[in-house]
Amino acid sequence: MFIVENYSLAILFCVITMFCWGSWANTTKLTNKEWRFELFYWDYGFGILLTTLLLAFTLGSNGIGGRAFWDDMQQAGHDNIQMALIGGVVFNLANILLVAAIAIAGMSVAFPVGIGIALVLGVIVNYISNPQGNPVLIFSGVVLIAVAIFLNAKAYQKLRSTANVSKKGLILSVISGCLMGLFYKYVADSMAKDFVHPEAGKLTPYTALVFFAIGIVLSSFVFNSIQMKKPFMGAAVSFADYFKGKAKDHLIGIFGGLIWCIGMSLNIIASGKAGPAVSYGLGQGATVVAAIWGIYVWKEFDNGPKGTKLILNLMLILYILGLALIIVSK
């Protein structure tokens, strides 16, 4: 299977992750205006599963290092399979709440708050589980990012003072972030520490990603079905509505899942060299990318009072500085 063997390539993969994770949500804005995100989300999940299977039978099945995907499937321990599945379930609940927050509050709020919290919590949890890198630099970066989250919340507060914006989006972002910070550890714990010579029973990254994606799709029949009946915004939708969708809307949803999953896959592959804490923390720099989309492309804060843009720009600077410290920590 394909394995990352140097730190520079691992960092490059994490940077690509950052752009994928920070950009996939734009696809929610490209569908028909009547196409609800609850319906979009089914195709998004299917896109993730299809991408993991494609990678498993290509990059995960060729090369001289590690174990080929099918061989790895046959020897996988039940406990490790369960961990990867749980990772998918936890991520799915967090992501459904995040997509709801995007629909309510916009990308420039939902991402910096939700994913910012996920970054802080995720780096701490993954570093405790597998300590790699200079802790002073890592956690200094985390502190800067935490300040950036606070500034984003202040900017949102200023926007709400002049516009009819519900605080529900901010609350959903916080809950999503707390859950999002935990899912990665389950996937990382299911995998072998040494990708070149994986331990018996442990999963290679490609196998872990497939079970992770299965966890997403299966749990959607619970989580997404519930939000279809009792949505955060608007009237209830049905499965009949899903099958009435246009091919374009379905393809955009699948494309959104593909974009996110490419980022996740590269991040997991890179974690063998960079370490889970650094890999996850850098990947969640997606917040900067998403905030830029929301602020400068979708103009989500253009109606804010004077001084709002200054706060947002300072938030972005602190985020970038925090990510830089995480990069140089190893």
- Taking only the tens place, the pLDDT of each residue in 295-325 is 787 777 777 788 887 888 898 899 889 888 9
User: Is 95 inside a domain boundary?
Assistant: yes
pLDDT of 243 = 95
User: Is 8 inside a domain boundary?
Assistant: no
pLDDT tens for residues 7-55? 999 999 998 998 998 888 889 888 888 899 899 999 999 999 999 999 9
Rg for the chain (alpha carbons), in Å? 19
What's the half-sphere exposure (Cβ side, CA atoms, 13 Å) at 287? 35
Residue ranges, the chain, pLDDT below 70: 106-109, 111, 153, 156-157, 159-166
Provide the 8-state DSSP code for 38.
H
User: Is 222 inside a domain boundary?
Assistant: yes
User: Is 221 inside a domain boundary?
Assistant: yes
Structural domains in the chain (count)? 1
Q: What share of the chain is helix, strand, coil (3-state, %, to 5)?
A: 75, 0, 25
User: Is 83 inside a domain boundary?
Assistant: yes
Domain boundaries, position 198: 31-327
User: Is 117 inside a domain boundary?
Assistant: yes
User: Is 273 inside a domain boundary?
Assistant: yes
CA distances from 240 to 183, 243, 281 (A): 31, 5, 40
User: Is 12 inside a domain boundary?
Assistant: no
